[in-house]
Chains A and B, each alone.
Chain A
Amino acid sequence: MYSLEDTIAAIATPLGEGGLAVLRVSGKNAITSVEKFFDGKQKLSLAKTHTAHFGNFTDGKGNVIDEVVTTIFLSAKSYTGENVVEISCHGSIFVARKILEILLTNKIRLAEPGEFTKRAFLNGKIDLPQAEAVADLIKANSEIAQKCSFSQIKGELSSQTKKIGGKILDLCSMLELELDFVEEDYQFATKEKIVSELNFLIGKIENLLASYKIGRFYRDGVNVVISGIPNVGKSSLLNALLQENKAIVTEIPGTTRDVVEGELLLDGILFRFFDTAGIRETKNIIEEEGIRRSYEKMAAADLTLIVNDSTDATNDCSDVSKINIPNITHQRQFAKSAENSLPWISCMTADGIIRDTAKLSDFNFETKKQITVFNKVDLLSDERQNKLRTEIEHTNLDYVFVSAKTHLGIIELQKKILELTVYENGEIANVSVLTNTRHKELFGKIQECIKNALNGVSEEKTTELIVLDLRSALNFIGEITGEVTTEEILNNIFSKFCIGK
């Protein structure tokens, strides 16, 4: 059985060089144990909670290991709900390890991964969704990701989930009344009322589920693929976006053979750009492989930038169908596919290339978001530009005119990228969203149950069957809020941590 009696310690900062390293000690004897090795003005066991104390950390035999600052957190107000001491020492691996070694000789044992958080949970300081959020926060790689996890730590997801659960429970009770009090003269819920309540729930959960995608953007970042035929300036665009020379740029079509990657923070969100090989028919095996990889990236992208050379001779503005269509595709496709707002990709599909690529054969490009980028506008006369603009306005494509060379339109492109991914009404969507895969999957199941219930109502299934679906939904709610706990859930949650958290 698990013991909370032990005092545990671990290095809480990443092992590597840094200005500081922090060790964390938690448990009944945390303060008294550290005190034995701490040589400072303040007696630690008499220190108030949330106070920091400067002094020397010694090996107990008079040898000073390092100058440290110890911070005391008493159990009532500490993270773990136990006495906690945090020791900040100089950021050398050797020093931190030495301090840890000394502590471990003194009836303190090394913490297991996630054990600090587990204790916080066991001591009732946080609930399960909060514990999960801690794991996410630790991994947060952008400001928004951090905000997201933080709102979950504060219990916002729990409270939203409980609200939904409360609604389902009300509905259940209404229906149960009809089953158990058949002889009483109660006013039972009408079918209309039940249908409207169920639809309300479906909408609510739909919103939450939709927020997962954004939540995932916050947490994992957004993948944007730069794609197009050779020599339209894809690599230049990457460099312009990143403001560094990441990709090799030449005038030779087909320079980029492999995928080049670069990261950029936009409004606190991490964007990962992938510059891919230009797509054309080729006999070159290396280039062919590069093109295959381009497709692969596009399939996994959250957003694709379709880059066109606006000066391309084939871009005869009098015939919009000729714009940006690679030679290998059927030109007639454009007019038709413009209606689908996916000119380029659908042409490719029609061409058969994608169908030949087994991995992509069943991939539905049409659901993918994309921006048509007209590059090299610095070389275009105003007249031609206006003409092109007028033509493209007739389609419902999202497009931007840029010059990778002069950086003209790059800001506009960035704005467009944000709009199509993480913005809602011109600003970053609410941070109170689903970010955790486990939660998302459970909400998916909840939604399924509610939809089943709704179907049941419209198919005039009897009440006890509809209630069965709602009760299943409640069970899943319980798995999110921690009211239904199984071993698997717990293990899953605490296994995500590394030592010292």
Chain B
Amino acid sequence: MKQTKNKYDIIVIGCGHAGIEASIASAKLGCKTLLVTMSKDSIGRMSCNPSIGGTAKGQLAREVDALGGVMGKLADLSGIHFRMLNTSKGPAVWSPRSQNDRELYARKARELILSQTNLDLLEDSVDEILSEYSNEERKITGITTTYHGQINCSVLVICAGTFLRSLMHTGFSQTVGGRFGEKSSSGISPSLEKLGFEIGRLKTGTPPRIDIDSIDFSSIELQPGDDNPQPFSFQTEKIINAQIPMYLTHTNEKTHEILRKGFERSPLFTGIIKGKGPRYCPSVEDKIARFSDKGSHHIFLEPEGYKTNFVYVNGFSTSLPQEIQLYGMRTIAGLENVKMLRHGYAVEYDYFPSYQLKLSLETKLVGGLFHAGQINGTSGYEEAAAQGLIAGINAAHYVHNKEPFILKRSEAYIGVLIDDLVNLLIDEPYRMFTSRAEYRLLLRQDNADRRLTKIGYNIGLVDEVAKQRLDKKEEMITRLSQFVNENTIAPEEVNDYLKSQNEMPITQREPIAKLVKRSNVKLVDLLSVAHFESGLHLKGRIEKESIEQVEIDLKYDGYISRQKIDVEKFEKSENITVPESFDYTRVRSLSAEGKEKLSHIRPQTLGQASRISGVTPSDISVLLVYLHR
């Protein structure tokens, strides 16, 4: 462990999924970086579900990887169960997800942090954030810590997760802390409040953990992972960890009856918890109360790793009293004799409404201060990692006096995420969905590298190996598309295959590119029929990926080109800039709310203005007329 200095380019507070990406990115980009955490043991800890990815989140994780972040690699190294979700739908919504060994993930994260050059680690609490006002701008100057006094920096990235003035609830009992057995941070919120930041309160929760040896597996459904686990990282050639199954069971009326008995002692229903929770990830008591006609809910039992007895009871997030949790679970098939190792709880924490941010994730109030992760009101590891990565890059750009790095909504889910954070009024934990991405046909998990790796390379985050891999893949894609467009296939070569796929046989030679468009035809099969002589091993990962790219481009050609036209339209309004000094208060015809929101957020473009919540369509028309005179 290197000695902590008293001056750094960048200090990152918190070493969860945002803090890891932020600190590694800024260190890689050549900035002297200090990572401060209240507990070194908590690096890369998965507070809730030991899982990476899922719908839209999987896309985010892939993008983080393609840009040069570490989440995908960590997930691959610690994955114990991989599944590609939504494969019955089109590739735009395929989403990778893994279950992970919680301890293994944390250990790999810790190893990465400790081996990263330019990056120091400090275990301490931050008491105060230091800044000074000069040249009409407030700028960050450093922090004071409990045990190491003042440490100076030019950029501070706060990734404090749920730890700001956090309070855990189980029934009527409350414990101060942001995670089971851990502390809360009390110094940061008041410090930011003093600087003029608005603070809100949110809530999230986690289910109980149970002992794997107390589960009766005979009465529950096995959920195997995919036969060919797909890695998150484009750099991972193959998942080598042994895969273990998950399990599915259900709540029943009996369960609901018991849980209802605990409602009178629920901190959620009795108004003790004030923070708003995620609508999309409700607690089990919420589900029972809101969908009272539903007699049963899914419960996934997810082992937390190879060497642990802990099993995560997915779908049973709760803050009901402990004994209610236990008795409730014991009515569920397979859990009749269950042993609860840790009870579920809700946690309330401070967040800083994200309209106080610029698209770079720098705060508008204080130069050099960046916020990333749950502190911005998001939920989920992937959302946190994405922000951490962007904050880390922009922290480094700030130090190096470079333009901020901003991804557009048309380029990446990350762009959608941050654009939403800055423009929408977020009053419940924000989770990414594929439906939030207007151009999701283009923003697929399979082409994250083609969209972002070159960008990451130019920033300096993506290494030479990854860059060369992409170059090789692009070259292969070009060759393949040329091949399928230029070559035809004869009926006698392909009709047996077509029949086997329930497709109409052909009567004369047809271009391969045309046959691929049929829904049951796979390019890889056609290639083997067509003897694509190239010396390629069609089984290698890059080869498989390239074939997939060509296939998707052909199969979804019409839709993809339509989205590209939409993107052009979108970028047109993104290109109408609004002068920085525009005085909205003087435009009488803007709605009162529009005026306030526009003045507050100061959109850079008309497109951005149109996405600000509270700004009406007629406000945009008004602006359009004003700006074009």
Q: Which A residues have a C-beta under 8 Å from some C-beta of B?
A: 1-4, 81, 118, 121-124, 127-128, 176, 179-185, 462-465, 467-468, 471-472, 478, 481-487, 490
Interface set, chain B 297-315, CB cutoff 8 A to A: 297-298, 300
> Taking the nearest CB of chain B, how far is it from the CB of A465, in angstroms?
6
CB of B454 to closest CB in A, whole Å: 26
Tell me the complex Cα distance, A3–B92, Å: 46
Which residues from chain A contact B85 at a C-beta distance below 8 Å? 182-183
Contact of A485 among B296, B441, B620, B629 (CB under 8 A): B620
Contacts of A180 in B (CB 8 A): 55-56, 433-435
The answer on a CB contact under 8 Å between B618 and A462 is no
Nearest CB on B from A186, distance (A)? 10
B589 close to A483 (CB less than 8 A): no
* Interface hits, B611-629 → A, CB 8 Å: 617-618, 620-622, 624-629
Bound form: Cα–Cα A118–B587 in Å: 14
- Residue ID in chain A nearest B579 by CB atoms: A1
Given the complex, which residues of B lie within 8 Å of A121, measured CB to CB? 618, 621
Whether A490 contacts B621 by the Cβ 8 Å rule is: yes
Name the interface size band of chain B: 35 or more
Write out the residue numbers on chain A whose beta carbons fall within 8 Å of the beta carbon of B622: 122
Q: Which of B54, B92, B617, B627 lies in contact with A464, CB distance below 8 A?
A: B92
Give Cα A176–Cα B54 distance, bound, in whole angstroms. 15
* Contacts A182-B55, A465-B90, A487-B624 known; 11 new A-B pairs at CB < 8 A: A2-B628, A4-B588, A81-B589, A180-B434, A180-B435, A181-B280, A183-B85, A184-B298, A462-B88, A464-B93, A482-B621
B621 near A128 with CB under 8 A, answer yes
With CB as the reference atom, state the residue of chain B lying closest to A172: B435
Q: Closest 6 A-B residue pairs measured CB to CB? A: A2-B629, A462-B90, A176-B435, A483-B617, A122-B589, A180-B433
A193 to chain B, nearest CB (A): 18
B625 and A179 contact, CB distance less than 8 A: no
Nearest-CB residue, chain B, relative to A125: B589
B628 nearest in chain A by CB position = A487
> When chains A and B are docked, how far (Å) is the Cα of A323 from the Cα of B189?
96
A486-B573 contact in complex given A127-B618, A184-B298, C-beta closer than 8 Å: yes
Chain A residue nearest to B576 (CB atoms) is A487
Q: How far is the CB of A474 from chain B (nearest CB, A)?
A: 11
Are the CB atoms of A118 and B625 closer together than 8 Å?
A: yes
- Can you give 25 A-B contacts (C-beta < 8 A)? A1-B627, A2-B626, A4-B587, A4-B589, A118-B625, A122-B622, A124-B589, A124-B618, A176-B435, A180-B434, A180-B435, A183-B54, A183-B55, A463-B89, A464-B90, A464-B434, A465-B559, A468-B559, A472-B562, A482-B617, A482-B621, A485-B617, A486-B572, A486-B573, A486-B624
| Complex alpha-carbon distance, A465 and B433, angstroms | 16
Please, how many angstroms separate the alpha-carbon atoms of A472 and B572 in the complex?
17
Q: Please tell me if B577 contacts chain A, counting CB pairs below 8 Å.
A: no
**Chain B residues with CB under 8 A of A484:** 617
Q: Known contacts A2-B629, A468-B563, A471-B438: does B617 contact A185 (CB below 8 Å)?
A: no
Nearest B residue to A483 by beta-carbon distance?
B617
Indicate if the CB atoms of A462 and B588 lie closer than 8 Å.
no
Instruction: Tell me which of B89, B556, B629 contacts A179 (CB under 8 A).
Output: B89
Interchain CB contact under 8 A, A179 and B588:
no
Q: How far is the CA of A3 from the CA of B627 in the complex (A)?
A: 10
- A124 to B56: give the CA distance in the assembly, Å: 39
User: A348 to B440, alpha carbons, bound, how many Å?
Assistant: 56
With the chains together, A183 CA to B51 CA distance in Å? 14
Q: How far is the CA of A464 from the CA of B86 in the complex (A)?
A: 11
Q: Which residue of A1, A81, A118, A180 has the most chain B CB atoms within 10 A of its CB atom?
A: A180
Q: Are A179 and B620 in contact (CB under 8 A)?
A: no
Known: A1-B626, A462-B90, A468-B563. A181 touches B55 (CB 8 A): yes
Chain B: minimal CB distance from A32 (Å): 18
Quick one: which of A179, A483, A487 contacts B434, CB cutoff 8 A?
Answer: A179
Nearest A-chain residue to B85, judged by Cβ: A182
Contact indicator B591/A485 (Cβ below 8 Å): no
Q: Is the CB of A490 within 8 A of B625?
A: yes
* Complexed CA–CA distance, A184 and B54 (Å): 12
CB < 8 Å neighbour of A490 from B296, B556, B624: B624
A182 to chain B: which residues have CB within 8 Å? 55, 85-86
Complex Cα distance A465/B440, Å?
10
What is the chain A residue whose CB lies nearest that of B281? A184
- Is the pair B435, A468 in contact by a Cβ cutoff of 8 Å? no
A122 to B625, CA, bound (A): 8
B55, A179: Cβ atoms under 8 Å?
A: yes
In the assembled complex, the CB of B197 is this many whole angstroms from the nearest CB of chain A, namely 32
Instruction: Give the shortest distance, in Å, between A180 (CB) and chain B (any CB).
Output: 4
Contacts of B626 in A (CB 8 A): 1-2
